[in-house]
Each structure stands twice: as C-alpha cells, then as structure tokens.
Structure 1
Amino acid sequence: MDTQRIEAAILDAPAWAQIGITMDHERVRASAAHELALRIADAIQGCVQVDLQIREKNAPRTPSY
C-alpha cells in the first residue's frame, strides 16, 4: 500500500477535521475522526481498486477450447 496516498488524504481533509481531532470536546473529536477515517478509507479503497486492476491485467490467460 502506498502510504503517500494516506498522507495526502489526511492533509487534504478539511481543516476543521484536522484541528478537530485534537479538541477536548468529545463530540467534535469524534466527528473529526469520522471525517478523517472516511478520507483514509477512500484512499485505501483507491489503492485496492488499482491493485485489483493491475492483478487482473497481469493474470495469466486461460486458453479457451
């Protein structure tokens, strides 16, 4: 997995989520964590989709009879 995609997802997240994760208020912190988790999940899903496409492309072809 490419950690640069995850880093980019965190840095591209809204500022309120980046700051909110450090807040004392539990509800704000939970909302911020949820937003960051969504961004990271999207980045991971993108990595998985690309990996699956590469694997399918490079998979050995079975002869059709």
Structure 2
Amino acid sequence: MERIERQALSAILLAAPGWARVGLTVPDERMRERAADSLAATIIEKLEGSSPADVNQLSLPL
C-alpha cells in the first residue's frame, strides 16, 4: 500500500460530496454510515484514478 500525502488526501476529501462531509456529523447512525461509505468511495476512486460517469449528470450540447 502506498503512502498518500496529507495535501492530496485533503484535496480528495474536499472533492467529496458536501452532504457526505456534513453527514458524518448528523445524529442518525444510518446517515453517518452512508456518508462514511460515500467518502471512502470518493477516496478509492481518486486513488485508483477511476471516476465513473454520474448517470444523473445532464450532458450539455456542444
């Protein structure tokens, strides 16, 4: 396992969805678990270099 620099990890966490970052602080245990899972998925995606397209993202005509 590689060691990741603190600045890189900070950038990845800031790139995570806002609801997930805030979700870690809510009193609801299920929401905290979902938020933690989303943050973990974001970290893994960024470290592996894979970022699947969001099916909910509307495409802009060029």
Q: Does the TM-score normalized on the shorter chain lie above 0.5?
A: yes
State the 1:32 CA deviation.
0.3
Give the TM-score, by structure 2 length: 0.62
Report matched runs for 1:26-45 at 5 Å.
Answer: 26-45=29-48
State the 1:22 CA deviation.
0.8
Identity %: 39
State the 1:43 CA deviation.
2.7
* Structure of higher RCO (CA pairs closer than 8 Å, 6+ residues apart): 1
- The two structures, once aligned, show a CA RMSD in angstroms of 1.4
Find the aligned partners of 2:48 and 2:6 in 1 and give their Cα distance: 13
One-letter amino acid of the structure 2 residue matched with residue 27 of structure 1:
R
Unpaired runs of at least 5, structure 2: 50-62
Select which of 11, 14, 18 maps to 1:15: 18
Find the aligned partners of 1:5 and 1:28 in 2 and give their Cα distance: 26
